[in-house]
């Protein structure tokens, strides 16, 4: 499943304002006005109330089972093309099995106030049809952020949350593959293992030793 294609994890606060009607940040147009056209005073994204750290929480899906159909629907729309025999219903069922609280497979949801805006999972294998990779487990997978909430640092929060949760579960090393976000993971000190071609696109397989990261202070709780 990999990660969300083409998202950018840069800080956006020099060109966005928060729109309470949209429930999201919205761009400023050339005239300096919000592009969503809602007619009221917008809250600057750099203000304390509008800052992402005051609004975004990473929470276990075990506490939000009612959101699984919504999250699985995102995943189906983003990656369903790789599962021609599947359906959104089968993806809901599959994701429901990945909602453990204290062991893999587990899923976390990003909540922007009370709005779900993204998800990520730790799974036993994210390339299960590659037997040569069977000994590599678990994998960070299914990192997805709604387009309206990208460029807010949520991807970074997801990755660091997964690292912390994996450490809490006694996991020393985690893996992932990415087609587009290698610079993000390298910035977070993930190591490139190999380049490959999978499900119709070029990917990079990466890993991170969490005990070493903990010693160097790169894993956050």
pLDDT digits (tens, 9 = 90+) for 61-97: 999 999 999 999 999 999 999 999 999 999 999 999 9
Helices (H) and strands (E) in the chain, counts: 5, 10
pLDDT: is 37 or 161 the higher one? 161
Residue 117 has pLDDT above 70, yes or no: yes
Task: Return the pLDDT at 19.
Answer: 58
Task: Return the pLDDT at 55.
Answer: 78
What mean pLDDT is predicted for residues 121-145? Answer: 96
Task: Return the pLDDT at 217.
Answer: 46
> What confidence category does residue 25 fall into, taking pLDDT thresholds of 50, 70 and 90?
low
Task: Return the pLDDT at 15.
Answer: 39
Q: Is the peptide bond before 150 cis (omega within 30 degrees of 0)?
A: no
Q: Which of 177, 195, 101, 109 is nearest to 138 (CA)?
A: 177
Whole-structure pTM value: 0.76
In sequence order, the β-bridge partners of residue 193 are: none
H or E element in which residue 27 lies:
strand 24-27
Residue 4 has pLDDT above 90, yes or no: no
Cα 102 to its chain centre, rounded Å, is: 19
> What confidence category does residue 213 fall into, taking pLDDT thresholds of 50, 70 and 90?
low
> What confidence category does residue 49 fall into, taking pLDDT thresholds of 50, 70 and 90?
very low
Domain 55-216 has CATH 1.10.390.10: no
Q: Is the peptide bond before 173 cis (omega within 30 degrees of 0)?
A: no
Residue 30 has pLDDT above 80, yes or no: no
pLDDT: is 221 or 154 the higher one? 154
Give the residue ranges of DSSP H helices in the chain. Answer: 68-79, 88-96, 154-168, 182-187, 210-216
Q: What is the mean pLDDT of the chain?
A: 82
H or E element in which residue 18 lies:
strand 16-19
Task: Return the pLDDT at 116.
Answer: 96
What mean pLDDT is predicted for residues 206-214? Answer: 85
> What confidence category does residue 157 fall into, taking pLDDT thresholds of 50, 70 and 90?
very high
What mean pLDDT is predicted for residues 119-147? Answer: 96
């Amino acid at each position: 499943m990999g990660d969300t294609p083409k998202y950018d994890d840069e800080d956006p606060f020099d060109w966005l304002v928060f729109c309470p009607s949209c429930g999201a940040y919205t761009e400023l147009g050339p005239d300096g006005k919000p592009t969503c056209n809602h007619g009221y005073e917008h809250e600057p994204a750099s203000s304390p109330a509008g800052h992402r750290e005051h609004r975004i929480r990473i929470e276990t899906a075990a506490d939000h089972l009612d959101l699984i159909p919504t999250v699985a629907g995102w995943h189906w729309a983003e990656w369903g093309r790789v599962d021609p025999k599947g359906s959104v219903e089968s993806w809901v069922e599959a994701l429901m099995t990945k909602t453990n609280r204290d062991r893999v497979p587990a899923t976390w949801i990003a909540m922007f106030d009370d709005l779900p805006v993204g998800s990520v999972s730790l799974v036993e294998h994210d390339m299960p049809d590659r037997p040569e990779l069977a000994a590599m487990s678990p994998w960070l997978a299914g990192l997805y952020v709604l387009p309206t909430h990208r460029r807010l640092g949520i991807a970074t929060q997801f990755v660091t949350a997964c690292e912390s949760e994996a450490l809490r579960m006694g996991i020393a090393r985690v893996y992932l593959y990415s087609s587009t976000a290698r610079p993000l993971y390298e910035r977070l000190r993930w190591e490139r293992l190999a380049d490959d071609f999978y499900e119709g696109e070029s990917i990079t397989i990466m890993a991170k030793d969490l005990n070493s990261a903990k010693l160097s202070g790169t894993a956050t709780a």
